[in-house]
A and B are shown apart, each in its own frame.
Chain A
């Protein structure tokens, strides 16, 4: 059933008894043209765009647990495209453009909210770095505005802009089109749209091995039996290294915990997404009223989706120091997602040494905002066996040549990005 005004009214009148399942739960077939391993945001987007852009609908998305239980439901929901490296900026700008039409495209409201993304700087050196970035965005056609301290005050009155602040605000770099999206809706919207185009979304189906013959993938072993396919895409953020290992691949990825934090809901106090140069800290207020924070990585490699107290403490310090009025607001919940970190801070959308086996992962901090473009370009790669021009740099081989895409200049230690 297509969602429309008349459908809403019709269903309201009949007690909402006639809404169909948002996606079917089919039994897996014995064989598909393409298998996508991982029913998270990127996997579902890939399946959707395989069907929509390439007409490939004999596709299965295999999900170990329930659909969307990975990072698509664990992030801070921020979208923006202000990336310095031009490979990243064209990719993320494509993603943001897809976000802007996604609700209409999927016939599912993902609640994109473009209230602006503001990076605050505190020192002349940080300002100069921000100018460099802002100019790079502008030259790449991405909206970008340098704002003064007075403008920061207006955009985010919650932020302490007084000169007595420990890190006084000097100004900021704003991407007006940045904002947030209702994260779970992205998974559900892509799932529904893919399902409507004939994709099989199969939950509770764990991939336990790969069938590889003479260097070519033939299918996968699963907890529900073998399924064959000549093309298989791995999109399993947080488990990338473990799943790839089953195909004999050793990836240049380390898995780290990144925590998210949400406060009790309160009446609106912050419109824009705000990030601070003085600490690894970002904040956004959700449409429900909770303030959502992000901090630094927990500091050690882990696959456990839970965080530690020192990082929570650091986030609380940042919150009340940058925004002192938050002192008596209570933190409600914190949780961990697993960030697959790469040596240059940029992802992979790439072929692998196994023919027909493709890999998408290593998203570091950019996974959520990259979801639509990731699906778009990964579908292109799988369908054509050729990288999409917007993702052609995201190869595994870039570390052999040194043509890395180092967004923030941090070293080859993945945890540093």
Chain B
């Protein structure tokens, strides 16, 4: 027991046969398996564990659960550094490292506590009234100072080495909370054969029973709970999720939960699973989440050594530690009598202060004879520095008259219990005030939802067990599982829970010292008074004005007390004061856990074409488009970007080149109405196009703007194949599905994305035919037999290929489609066959250069704001049929003067360059809304022209050919003069591609 000054000689549900070592703020301590960091610290007499947010007040362990507002620490080191962890939820393991936070230079000597002295100047909302003079001081001085003071802990300085995953569970009955009611519900439902998931945020089952010294079914309560848990664990239809916090409920009975898989093991090898995010979809939900105790609000009620009454006995019974030897229990309800009993039994000297009259109390029967009880009194104030040293007491009828001062090292406080209704409220249901228990509870729940035990406002153990059984049976039978209703086990008879709310003491008391309502954010009664005085008395306004309930505990201890205080201040019944909204997450969850596997390199898929290996081997530099990695260019020894691109272009224009176009979206359509369907999608017609032909097509959106472009190929009467742009592939597919399912379900057409099924490559250049003739079997590629826009099936080696004669580059060109698994072989076969003609691969940049020289539009021109006419494609718009976008494309705003139209640009001085994204202006140096007359969509160095060329969208551009404009990029301080030209720079008559 070395050093464990507050460990009881026996008792507790920890493993005393083993010792674990941990450290806090650099000092080493010992505890036992089964301890939490909080119980381990208490065992070692460490009570000061943190500092508050605003005033840096010393704070200690206040609770024994996830609602802990004060004992927040940083655990772990390096990439495992985790700030703001409640010490109450950390299971002790060997080597655990924890540090206090939000203090400087040390926890016991924190200079920032000077804030406390300035408290008169820092009431709630002070920053809205101040820091305004002089104006410049706000951003130079005040705000940086506020920001520096912000936050509690510090995040890791390295990436997280641990691993996270997502799992999904589907069940008949989800029971949240493995306390008495939850265990009974799970057992009843499971015995009826329902598929049950039982989740609880703690490491051991039993809920509050794990921390009680009472009997259930003739056994110790914790052992009884463990027994039920063991039975359930052995059933195939039950999934037990201990250490699993259900953080949120979403529409349709979907729940999110985080399971702490590895935290308690203390693993330090990289790649271990740390936490698992569950998505649980259930048919029936049993909310057995218990209740959370609220503290009493009195003067300096925040010192280390002041603890919730229920938590204090939890420490004694579950962990075998005694948080204090000279104890004051301050309460307004009967539950605290159990605390007084258990602490007295453990050897503490207990005085119980009950604000009620003796005749209203039921709990005194529990107390050992020697325990002193003072009725009608309250704690009004406490003393002490880093730990509470005494409590000042007064009569409740005369609170500003101190009757006595009791020395103590622990004050247990209870202002009553609040049902934990968060999961019942996440989907919008509002709780009602229940005066019988002086707490908010749900008056009713939706179909499929059951509430039991403390969550339902039932604080009598025997009733909790009965409700659990009933809910389990009801939930199972709602899933058509026949259940016999078993009897609930019998429990020890405990006194009835009664309470008289005590929200605050009269003003005179709270003025002398600070009475905290929200501990972590340092919100006091005085702050709430100020909020009310200034008109922020609505619960939601008070929250936002004072930051009450906005700390990491989300107001679990403070919200109801605040509403009680506000209702007194406003003189309105508590039921009319309103509540704030319960939102997920019930307990905060790590971003890494919520992200699961899809992070880092796996954040999004990385798509490779079938020829990716070849590109890598041949030194390609890649660029990303629509998650695909595409070869951008293939630099050779000593080449930079410009040199490589120039070589690739020249080679294709003078000999032959090949580019991987597998990333194009590909959709296959079948059915007798395929042609008609395409006619309605595209501005041009395809139903009359002959089989074996291919043609360029353009689609509009409903609003008349260009949506996408590509090739349409007719393979048979009722069989088409289309290509769409890489980035827009899924968008086009969605659009087609929408049109078919919503607009024209009568059309007999089926279609399917085949993007990944086909590898595709374009062979372009004057020698393209020669090269392909050597490898393609089954087609006569001569100009006469296979003119532009022809399509035919053939073979290259053993591989099936489909050959389309179309050209994006403006050269004699063919597109070869082959099943993806043949892609690499076909590519290599063409490369080999082309070697003698000097074939070389080219990347997307060379493709951009060639299409720009030809004035073909692509992504930068199809930016969602251009019409077909803007792009010079107006003549393609059929006048003889209807199609998506036709009518809205005729609106005056899309057809009148002032539209930006596609033009070409060339510099006046041949050596000048300009960049994409530069704007066209006529008066350089001016600023204003009408200065920009257009912008450069694409700019490249053209080897054919031997100078830069560009495509641009220019207001009324087509009528401005020959005009001089300035191409300005103020971001780069650049400006050059250029001439407006037509958009086609090379082979305007298209002779090369027809040759």
Contacts and interface: CB of A to CB of B under 8 A. Distances in A.
Contacts of B158: 325
Nearest to A184: B544
Interface stretch (A223-231, A258-266, A352-360, A364-372): A258-266
Interface in A372-407: 398, 400-404, 406
* Top-5 shortest CB links A-B: A409-B864, A131-B917, A289-B151, A402-B893, A327-B592
B497 interface: no
A402 B704 contact: yes
Interface stretch (B127-135, B663-671, B686-694, B771-779): B127-135
B151 A266 contact: yes
A323 B181 CA distance: 42
B588 A331 contact: yes
A226 to B, nearest CB: 25
B160 interface: yes
A130 B915 CA distance: 12
Contacts of A110: 128
Contact of A141 (B128, B156, B888, B928): B928
B860 A125 contact: yes
Contacts of B805: none
13 contacts: A5-B130, A7-B129, A23-B535, A90-B929, A104-B132, A136-B932, A266-B151, A306-B427, A326-B155, A327-B162, A327-B592, A331-B591, A411-B703
B139 A113 contact: yes
A404 B127 CA distance: 42
A60 B971 CA distance: 46
Contacts of B45: none
Interface stretch (B287-295, B359-367, B601-609, B900-908): B601-609
B148 A268 contact: yes
A368 to B, nearest CB: 15
Given A66-B540, A264-B83, A404-B703, A332 B554 contact: yes
B132 A109 contact: yes
Contacts of B547: 288
Most chain B beta-carbon contacts within 10 A, residue among A125, A136, A145, A309? A309
B526 A136 contact: no
B829 interface: no
A321 B603 contact: yes
A4 to B, nearest CB: 8
A301 interface: no
Given A308-B251, A326-B591, A103 B929 contact: no
A181 to B, nearest CB: 12
Contact of B120 (A12, A139, A265, A412): A12
A198 B155 CA distance: 48
Given A4-B133, A321-B603, A330-B589, 7 more contacts: A22-B536, A140-B931, A164-B601, A269-B154, A289-B150, A321-B599, A411-B707
Given A309-B256, A320-B595, A139 B143 contact: no
A262 B54 CA distance: 19
A411 B159 contact: no
B591 A132 contact: no
Interface stretch (A39-47, A236-244, A311-319): A311-319
A276 to B, nearest CB: 11
Contacts of B585: 331-334
A401 B921 contact: no
Given A66-B538, A317-B595, A265 B53 contact: yes
A135 B130 contact: no
A167 B604 CA distance: 9
Interface of A: 3-5, 7-8, 12-13, 15-17, 19-23, 25, 66-69, 73, 86-87, 89-90, 103-104, 107-114, 122-125, 128-136, 138-141, 144-146, 164, 166-167, 182, 184-185, 188-189, 263-269, 278, 286-289, 304, 306, 308-309, 312-313, 316-321, 324-335, 343, 398, 400-404, 406, 408-412
A324 B592 CA distance: 9
A96 to B, nearest CB: 14
Contacts of B916: 128, 131-132
Contacts of B603: 166-167, 317-318, 321
Contact of A19 (B150, B166, B530, B601): B530
B598 interface: yes
A151 to B, nearest CB: 13
Contacts of B254: 309
A124 B623 CA distance: 8
B752 interface: no
Contacts of B129: 3, 7-8, 108-109
Nearest to B969: A135
B26 interface: no
A327 B130 contact: no
Contacts of B624: 122-123, 167
Nearest to A127: B917
A324 B154 CA distance: 14
A222 B150 CA distance: 43
Contact of A268 (B151, B511, B917): B151
Interface string B45-81: 0000000010000000000000000000000100111
A404 B147 CA distance: 41
Given A139-B927, A139-B932, A8 B130 contact: yes
Nearest to A289: B151
A140 B927 contact: yes
A22 to B, nearest CB: 5
Given A16-B526, A131-B969, A317-B599, A309 B865 contact: no
A408 B604 contact: no
A297 B928 CA distance: 33
Contacts of A146: 971-972
Contacts of A182: 127-128
A338 B146 CA distance: 31
Interface in B561-596: 581, 583-585, 588-592, 594-596
Nearest to B931: A139
Contact of B157 (A109, A308, A325): A325
A131 B860 CA distance: 12
Contacts of A185: 128
Nearest to B601: A166
Given A21-B534, A123-B623, A268-B151, A135 B917 contact: yes
A331 B589 contact: yes
B80 A328 contact: yes
Given A135-B918, A325-B159, A330 B130 contact: no
Nearest to A293: B591
B744 interface: no
A284 to B, nearest CB: 12
Contact of B151 (A20, A90, A103, A267): A267
Contacts of A400: 891
Contacts of A398: 893
A328 B864 contact: no
